[in-house]
Amino acid sequence: MGRFSKSAGREVLEGHERLPEWIAKERIKLSELHVMKQGLRESRLHTVCEDACCPNRAHCFQRGTATFLLLGNTCTRECGFCAIKHGNPQPPDYNEPHETAEYVAALGLKFAVLTSVTRDDLADGGAAHFAATIHAIKEKGVDVEVLVPDFQGNLDSVARVVSAGPTVFNHNLETVPDLYTRVRPGAEYKRSLEILSEAKRMGRACFGSDFRTKSGLMLGLGETEEQLTKVFSDLSMVGVDILTLGQYLRPSRRQLPVYEYVHPDRFEELAELAKAQGIQTVYSGPFVRSSFNAEEIARQRSVTKNYLRHGLMGDAEIIEYVKETHSRTKPDELFNDANLKPLFEDSDKLRRKYYGNYVYLRGLIEFSNICKNDCYYCGIRKSNTQTKRYRMTVDEILDCCERGYALDYRTLVLQSGEDGFFTDEVMCDIICGIKRKFPDCAVTLSLGERSYNSYKLLRDAGADRYLLRHETASPSHYNQLHPREMSLENRKQCLWNLKSLGYQVGCGIMVCSPFQTSDNLKEDLQFIRELQPQMVGIGPFIPHAQTPFASEPDNKTLKLNLTLVLLALVRIAVPNVLLPATTALGTIHPLGRELGLKAGANVVMPILTPRGARENYVLYDGKICIDDEAEECRRCLAKRVESVGLEIKIDRGDYKNAE
């Protein structure tokens, strides 16, 4: 028979024949597992409860809850503590997100927990699968907690999961760093800390203080109090909100033996020690597991989703009304329409509440019209062989900045096609050069889709803002406007990545683009409310002769009126947004920019691109101001702004936080 020796509040096992009483008293009743197991089998789903032989599975199954195991039940790693089988996994089941959501709904859950095996065989580690499942479950009105692997340190994968909007983001350290080689081969302690740190920063940037991070440790593997104290301190430093501490229990003789059974009193002491290091919420006890009672823990501070609170009902009805009533009317009739006048009045009040009478200038430098993409609506698409391609030098770009600074522009916008010449290294040099010479200026980039790491490098170099128009929030509509190799999913992910990195982010849409419906515009407004961007660019679609949409119908009146209404709707949806009166508005109506300001806009973007280049940066036909000198353009805009009772403010014009 084995025996136990008691020391410092713990029981040390010297044999394997019996367990201490606080462990042995818990017994799994197989009858309590049957109903839940039957449902899982029928749905072809896995749970970590079963596959990892969790001692709490009877308790959870009896309550109709479980932690769903995504991406199969075969892991590419072989951790010393884990009972999940190791091997070569099957390809992901792309029906699994939908099936999981359906089963969650059938159970009547209000809170679901997702985890997965480690999938080092997948480029993103399974992040897209996590995100799809989160979205599918949230559509059922259910909150989600995720327990993720380390994705081999891929921060793009972390961003994809975070941006899907889980209530709690959990990544377990499992043990102290000195034991990683034995307990977590293939994992790295510092890498796991970085994942928790980045997830917290991304989540807070996207969702505010409601976003919470969590981690867990197993005790009884040979760790010391000194080692635990250091881990508690590290978790506190990266902002972890919730910590779970539980007893390691050997699932079978194939896993690591238990070094010690920690007494319940000692768990209480360690919880206080963790709190003393600054961790807000600690759950500690022999049978505590990272997902055990997860809902109750999360509900202690419910997520309010403030980013979804701004919004009006009836967007589609308003859009349809404008189409039916104002497809041929003058702007004055639009603004004086009794059904729409309150909309414009509310938009104006909100603009003045946050920004007063001020309008901000953005000096636009279009430094390359070379683009790898072939968007069907764009005049600089790669298939347009009629346009003269150009690429400005670094010195030419800096000369434009100097000229803009002399004209009182305190935001400089660098815009181009997706030109591979402008690598991260080149762009970082340009950004640093601007910041050195004009430290009081904001730098806004509009360079298209790039990787998370690329955006991070540009941000670290000093970029303040990033404009990336999504053009439409409808996947089917997006596919009608873009070639097959481009995807709305990636476009949106780029926006979430940018926001998580602390940029002031701008998205945007075209109004009356080919195939666009009122429902598409409603989806756009819903996405804008969810993203809560700092900037939104809204302009009318204008066809270009060298694109597949050259012969599209061009009802300029409808485009103008609908754009003005959408400007007002966006101002109400995001009251403190920076909203440009675009050059495209001025192209379809001689007073288009003034009308845009009247509808709720508060930004104008004069062109600084040298005349020889700007005539070739033509995204649509008829673009105004191509022949104007920069000084002339500056004087013209000042008069236009004054004509509607507003004034230009000479500063960076940063986004104002909501009260």
The mean pLDDT of the chain is 87
Is the pLDDT at 35 greater than 60? The verdict is no
- Asked if residue 593 lies in contact with residue 604, where contact means CB atoms within 8 angstroms, the answer is yes
- Asked if residue 622 lies in contact with residue 628, where contact means CB atoms within 8 angstroms, the answer is no
Token pair 């089941």 is found at 93
Is the pLDDT at 37 greater than 70? The verdict is no
User: H helices of 238-286, where?
Assistant: 264-276
Mean pLDDT, range 115-127, rounded to an integer: 94
Is the pLDDT at 33 greater than 50? The verdict is no
Q: What is the pLDDT of residue 352?
A: 93
Q: Are strands 111-116 and 67-70 parallel, antiparallel or unpaired?
A: parallel
Residue 238: HSE in the Cβ half-sphere, 13 Å Cα cutoff: 28
CA distances for 84 relative to 87, 98, 134, angstroms: 10, 24, 23
Three-state secondary structure call for residue 281: strand
Question: Which strands sit side by side in the sheet containing 358-361, from one edge to the other?
Answer: 603-604, 358-361, 647-649
Mean pLDDT, range 206-234, rounded to an integer: 91
Burial classification of residue 462, based on how many CB atoms lie within 10 Å of its CB (0-12 exposed, 13-18 middle, 19 or more buried):
middle
Is the pLDDT at 555 greater than 90? The verdict is yes
In sequence order, the β-bridge partners of residue 84 are none
Contacts of residue 268, defined as CB under 8 A and 6 or more positions apart, other chains included, come to 284
Burial classification of residue 329, based on how many CB atoms lie within 10 Å of its CB (0-12 exposed, 13-18 middle, 19 or more buried):
middle
pLDDT tens-place string over residues 472-502:
999 999 999 999 999 999 999 999 999 999 9
Q: Which domains does the chain have, with CATH numbers?
A: 24-299 (3.20.20.70), 307-649 (3.20.20.70)
Q: What distance lies between CA 324 and its chain's CA centroid?
A: 36
Q: What is the pLDDT of residue 62?
A: 46
User: H helices of 44-153, where?
Assistant: 48-51, 57-62, 96-107, 127-138
Catalogue the long-range contacts made by 465-468 (C-beta closer than 8 Å, 24 or more residues apart).
465/411, 465/503, 465/504, 465/505, 465/506, 465/534, 465/535, 466/498, 466/503, 466/504, 466/505, 466/506, 467/413, 467/415, 467/506, 467/508, 467/535, 467/537, 468/494, 468/495, 468/498, 468/505, 468/506, 468/507
Q: Which of 411, 467, 415 is nearest to 442 (CA)?
A: 411
Q: How far apart are CA 445 and CA 271, in angstroms?
A: 46
Is the pLDDT at 139 greater than 80? The verdict is yes
Task: With cut-offs at 50, 70 and 90, classify the pLDDT of residue 294.
Answer: low
* φ, ψ (nearest 5 deg) of residue 298: -65, -35
Q: How far apart are CA 537 and CA 471, in angstroms?
A: 9
Q: How far apart are CA 598 and CA 594, in angstroms?
A: 6
pLDDT tens-place string over residues 425-442:
999 999 999 999 999 999
Mean pLDDT, range 106-111, rounded to an integer: 82
Instruction: State the amino acid at position 413 in one-letter form.
Output: V
How many secondary structure helices (H) and strands (E) does the chain include?
26, 22
Q: How far apart are CA 307 and CA 208, in angstroms?
A: 9
Other residues' Cβ atoms within 10 Å of the Cβ of residue 42: 9
Task: With cut-offs at 50, 70 and 90, classify the pLDDT of residue 658.
Answer: low
Is the pLDDT at 10 greater than 80? The verdict is no
Q: What is the pLDDT of residue 337?
A: 87
Q: Which of 92, 133, 103 is nearest to 115 (CA)?
A: 133
Mean pLDDT, range 624-630, rounded to an integer: 86
Q: What is the pLDDT of residue 314?
A: 59
Is the pLDDT at 56 greater than 80? The verdict is no
Token pair 């190799």 is found at 485
Q: What is the pLDDT of residue 9?
A: 42
pLDDT tens-place string over residues 328-359:
999 999 999 888 888 898 899 999 999 999 99
Is the pLDDT at 311 greater than 60? The verdict is no
Task: Show the tokens assigned to 324.
Answer: 């039916």
Q: Which of 297, 280, 279 is nearest to 288 (CA)?
A: 297
Burial classification of residue 117, based on how many CB atoms lie within 10 Å of its CB (0-12 exposed, 13-18 middle, 19 or more buried):
buried
> H or E segment at 244?
strand 242-247
> H or E segment at 261?
strand 261-262
Q: Which of 540, 464, 454 is nearest to 505 (CA)?
A: 464
* φ, ψ (nearest 5 deg) of residue 518: -60, -35
Task: With cut-offs at 50, 70 and 90, classify the pLDDT of residue 54.
Answer: very low
Mean pLDDT, range 245-271, rounded to an integer: 91
Mean pLDDT, range 523-552, rounded to an integer: 93
Is the pLDDT at 299 greater than 70? The verdict is no
Q: What is the pLDDT of residue 645?
A: 96
Mean pLDDT, range 273-289, rounded to an integer: 89
Q: Which of 562, 81, 121, 55 is nearest to 286 (CA)?
A: 55
Task: Show the tokens assigned to 86.
Answer: 């190791």
Three-state secondary structure call for residue 47: strand
Length of the chain (residues):
659
Residue 46: HSE in the Cβ half-sphere, 13 Å Cα cutoff: 19
Q: Which of 536, 537, 534, 527 is nearest to 503 (CA)?
A: 534
Q: What distance lies between CA 481 and its chain's CA centroid?
A: 23
Q: Which of 568, 558, 569, 564 is nearest to 582 (CA)?
A: 564
Q: What distance lies between CA 500 and its chain's CA centroid?
A: 6
Q: What is the pLDDT of residue 202?
A: 85
Residue 223: HSE in the Cβ half-sphere, 13 Å Cα cutoff: 28
First to last CA, the chain: 68
In percent, the amount of the chain with pLDDT more than 70 equals 87
- Asked if residue 318 lies in contact with residue 565, where contact means CB atoms within 8 angstroms, the answer is yes
Other residues' Cβ atoms within 10 Å of the Cβ of residue 463: 26
Sign of CA dihedral 347, 352, 355, 361: positive
Reading phi first (left if > 0) and then psi (alpha if -120 to 50, else beta), residue 115 is in beta
> H or E segment at 284?
strand 281-284
pLDDT tens-place string over residues 150-202:
999 999 899 999 988 999 999 999 999 999 999 999 999 999 999 999 998 88
pLDDT tens-place string over residues 377-429:
999 999 999 999 999 999 999 999 999 999 999 999 999 999 999 999 999 99
In percent, the amount of the chain with pLDDT more than 90 equals 66
